[in-house]
């Protein structure tokens, strides 16, 4: 009997297995195109994208203004290195400095979140101090330096020994932080919300406390806004509500609107690199910088940060009372739906089957990070499908009702 012809997804899955690094588990589907908050797989099935490349495609897929800017820039020059200046990344850096509110701050461009944090780690060494304090549960990237300040044992253990001089304290534990800092501490680094750890939100006042404690011992206060930044949580960097002023801010993900870009902003109270102390061939690439300028234009013009806050409330209200939902947390359009049972993977798979892409950040937390351009109608559609599936899973569950 002739074998059934493999579908697009199936054949790409087996090619993936044969060729892509085994550091990733094999995906069920291949995504080949998209528009706005919708993506299409290799078999032509459409999905509502509530993950946006893990909090990255702030303007969704194939945004016409990003397409136009990239086309225009690639038609002029794609890459120039950092031996020459370029108007797009200079403009982008000026806008980021304005957002930070410090005209003496300087922006180092790179290509990813891990690289932005590597730059922060190196910068902290210029204080003459060697120790860094990071948070348990934190995620700062997979390169050796960034992994050294990542507070997740399972990711670290196979690669030990990592950098020395790193101390971890519990997230949201100011007393522990106060005990850990000393005159040897170069930098304290913290995420405003721990995204990879399951969208964990600290108590109000935590960032303020971290800022105060860091300053009390002369350490740099660094905020990793890679996942929370660029409007996702309703402000540019995710820390503004607390009224703090970090010395270092790292960005990536949404900054390039789906093109690879990272940034490390060192404010006027941080040290600055001297020429030759740090660099990146592609950092500040003109095409990516042009896309990033569009991301900022659209977020400002369409008031996407204000919308993110309103849509958070709309979604939370609609799902919080459903069975199996223990909590809905996060900020703006970075949302963690906490389940009362460790069934996030099963629920994410069911949602995908039903045309909605989300991610199980942990066994019991579904992470939502839709593009910031998501509409109310699309939120309503998510809520309808999500409610139906949660109710069905709850009905069919084995075990005792809570």
Phi, psi at 9, each rounded to 5°: -65, -45
273 DSSP 8-state letter: P
155 labelled catalytic: no
Stretch of 14-22, 89-97, 224-232, 343-351 lying at the interface with ligand PLP (CB under 6 A): 224-232
- 226 vs 305 by CB, closer to ligand PLP: 226
Q: Which of residues 325-344 bind ligand PLP (CB under 6 A)?
A: none
- 226 vs 347 by CB, closer to ligand PLP: 226
C-beta of 227: minimal distance to ligand PLP in Å? 4
> Which residue's Cβ has the minimum distance to ligand PLP?
113
How many residues touch ligand PLP (CB under 6 A)? Answer: 14
Distance CA 329, CA 53 (A): 20
Binding residue for ligand PLP (CB under 6 A) from 49, 191, 247, 378?
Answer: 191
Report if residue 195 touches ligand PLP, rule: CB under 6 A.
yes
203 DSSP 8-state letter: P
C-beta of 141: minimal distance to ligand PLP in Å? 4
The residues facing 133 across adjacent strands are 167, 188
- 191 vs 247 by CB, closer to ligand PLP: 191
Binding residue for ligand PLP (CB under 6 A) from 41, 49, 88, 224?
Answer: 224
Q: Which of 206, 221, 253, 350 is catalytic?
A: 253
Distance CA 131, CA 122 (A): 11
Asked if 186 and 152 touch (Cβ cutoff 8 Å), the reply is no
7 DSSP 8-state letter: P
Asked if 257 and 66 touch (Cβ cutoff 8 Å), the reply is yes
Distance CA 263, CA 289 (A): 11
- Distances in Å between the alpha carbon of 373 and those of 35, 158, 350? 11, 39, 24
Q: Which of residues 243-272 bind ligand PLP (CB under 6 A)?
A: 252
Query: Closest by alpha carbon to 143, among 110, 165, 172, 173?
Result: 110
- Distances in Å between the alpha carbon of 304 and those of 91, 99, 255, 322, 366? 21, 15, 14, 28, 23
- 41 vs 224 by CB, closer to ligand PLP: 224
Report if residue 141 touches ligand PLP, rule: CB under 6 A.
yes
Phi, psi at 385, each rounded to 5°: -65, -45
Report if residue 112 touches ligand PLP, rule: CB under 6 A.
yes
Q: Which of 109, 139, 237, 382 is catalytic?
A: 139
Report if residue 287 touches ligand PLP, rule: CB under 6 A.
no
Report if residue 124 touches ligand PLP, rule: CB under 6 A.
no
2 DSSP 8-state letter: P
Report if residue 196 touches ligand PLP, rule: CB under 6 A.
yes
Residues that bind ligand PLP (CB under 6 A): 112-114, 117, 139-141, 191, 195-196, 224, 226-227, 252
* Catalytic residue set: 139, 224, 253
């Amino acid at each position: 009997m002739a074998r059934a012809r493999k579908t697009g997804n199936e054949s790409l899955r087996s090619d993936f297995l044969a060729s892509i690094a085994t550091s990733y588990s094999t995906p069920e589907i291949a995504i080949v195109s998209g528009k706005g908050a919708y993506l299409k797989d290799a078999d032509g099935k459409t999905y509502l994208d509530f993950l946006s490349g893990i909090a990255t495609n702030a303007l969704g897929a194939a945004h016409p203004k990003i397409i136009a800017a990239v086309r225009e820039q690639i038609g002029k020059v794609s890459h120039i290195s950092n031996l020459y200046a370029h108007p797009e990344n200079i403009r982008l850096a000026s806008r980021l400095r304005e957002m930070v509110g410090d005209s003496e701050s300087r922006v180092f461009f790179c290509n990813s979140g891990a690289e932005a944090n590597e730059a922060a780690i190196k910068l902290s060494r210029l204080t003459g101090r060697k120790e860094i304090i990071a948070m348990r549960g934190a995620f700062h990237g997979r390169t050796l330096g960034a992994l050294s300040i990542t507070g997740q044992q399972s990711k670290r253990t196979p690669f030990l020994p990592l950098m020395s001089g790193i101390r971890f304290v519990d997230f949201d534990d100011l007393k522990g932080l106060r005990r850990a800092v000393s005159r040897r501490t170069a930098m304290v680094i913290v995420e405003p919300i721990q995204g990879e750890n399951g969208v964990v939100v600290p108590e109000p006042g935590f960032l303020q406390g971290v800022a105060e404690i860091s300053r009390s011992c002369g350490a740099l206060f660094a905020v990793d806004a890679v996942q929370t930044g660029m409007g996702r949580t309703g402000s540019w960097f995710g820390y503004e509500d607390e009224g703090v002023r970090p010395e270092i801010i790292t960005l990536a993900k949404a900054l390039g609107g789906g093109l690879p870009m990272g940034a490390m902003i060192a404010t006027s109270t941080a040290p600055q690199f001297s020429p030759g102390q740090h660099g990146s061939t592609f950092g500040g690439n003109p095409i990516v910088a042009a896309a990033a300028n569009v991301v900022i234009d659209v977020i400002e013009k369409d008031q996407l940060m204000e919308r993110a806050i309103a849509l958070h409330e709309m979604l939370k209200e609609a799902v919080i009372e459903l069975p199996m939902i223990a909590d809905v947390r996060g900020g703006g359009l970075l949302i963690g739906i906490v389940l009362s049972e460790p069934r996030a993977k099963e629920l994410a798979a069911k949602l995908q089957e039903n045309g909605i892409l989300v991610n199980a950040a942990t066994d019991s937390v579904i992470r939502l990070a839709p593009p910031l351009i998501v509409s109310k109608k699309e939120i309503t559609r998510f809520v309808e499908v999500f409610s139906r599936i949660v109710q069905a899973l709850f009905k069919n569950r084995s075990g005792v009702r809570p």
